[in-house]
Amino acid sequence: MSLTALIPSSSVRAMLMMFVAMFMFTGMGIFIKLAAQHVHVMEVVFFRNFLAVLIIGPFLLRTGISQIKMNRPGLFLGRAVINFIGMFCGFTSVTLIPLAENTALSFTCPIFVTIGAVIFLGEVIRLRRILAILIGFAGALVILQPGFSEVSVGALLALASSLSIAMAVLLVKKMTETETSMSIVFWMVVMQAPISLVPALLVWQWPSPLGWLYLWGVAISGTIAHVLFTRACSLVEITSLQPMEFAKLPFAVIFAWIIFDEWPGVWIWVGGAIIFTATAYITRREAIAKQSIQPNLGQKETVL
């Protein structure tokens, strides 16, 4: 057997990277819950960004400073502020509701991206995608069950996080026209570190040794997840990787059960599956629309 035959294809490597990325994203959620037991969640947000700068910094020695040049600083700052809001809402949500519920509600992000593209970018969507959006929100209602149980603050924060991150994704779509992927990743954490430091100082307490371990876990798992996610999307079309995202839910269920004794109700599974199916369909339809507009150009996605 030749050496070439032993090397996995691009699609297989992309799927493996995506699978590990979903595992690492779940790990970040676990570390957030653990770290928040030692310091305020705002400090967790700050150290997620500050420690990520220390992790990413050495890679600049290899890629070169030219890779982080900013052509439109205003977009970088706007993206950092919006992403910070989404990060704070998401991190706080993780500390207030079961991890599986937070994960299931996070699947609404692509739905908000589609709605935002219509409102702010003037994109046109057809009836089938409109129906998929409505079905996705129906899935969120299945999880929230308004009228049958009290809607928790944590669940609302999870939705607010998805909305904020969706707005940041729309900015990234504009930024990729003139900016490099490295500059987008680097300046995000560099700008978010001082933004999050100011409110963190109001509740500041130095982490314990165990707290430091959890904070490094948040930064390392989050950084690895984003790198693998972006790399996987560069190898194949993102639509072929979409089903792998649902792996976050069973990962969240298993680890939250082992570590926090959390076990989700059946409606979280049902609602999460409905939301995920709707977002997968939306992503697929958007890919088809792009191919019809640019039949001779390959799709390029930057996901951060």
Note whether residue 157 is domain-resident. Answer: yes
Name the DSSP class of 162.
H
The larger pLDDT score, comparing residue 158 to residue 132, is at 158
Alpha-carbon distance of 237 to 164, in angstroms, equals 24
Four-point Cα dihedral 86, 88, 89, 91, nearest 10: 110
Domain with 24 in it: 17-293
Phi/psi at 85 (nearest 5 deg)? -60, -45
End-to-end CA distance of the chain: 38
Q: How many domains does the chain have?
A: 1
- Which pLDDT tens digit goes with each residue over 24-61? 999 999 999 999 999 999 999 999 999 999 988 887 77
Note whether residue 192 is domain-resident. Answer: yes
Note whether residue 304 is domain-resident. Answer: no
Alpha-carbon distance of 11 to 247, in angstroms, equals 17
Alpha-carbon distance of 35 to 220, in angstroms, equals 13
Note whether residue 155 is domain-resident. Answer: yes
pLDDT at 119 over 50: yes
Note whether 61 and 157 are within 8 A (CB). no
Note whether 216 and 35 are within 8 A (CB). no
Taking residues 239-249, report their average pLDDT.
75
Note whether residue 132 is domain-resident. Answer: yes
Note whether 33 and 94 are within 8 A (CB). yes
Note whether residue 115 is domain-resident. Answer: yes
Note whether residue 240 is domain-resident. Answer: yes
Percent of the chain topping pLDDT 90: 38
Note whether residue 280 is domain-resident. Answer: yes
Note whether 18 and 244 are within 8 A (CB). yes
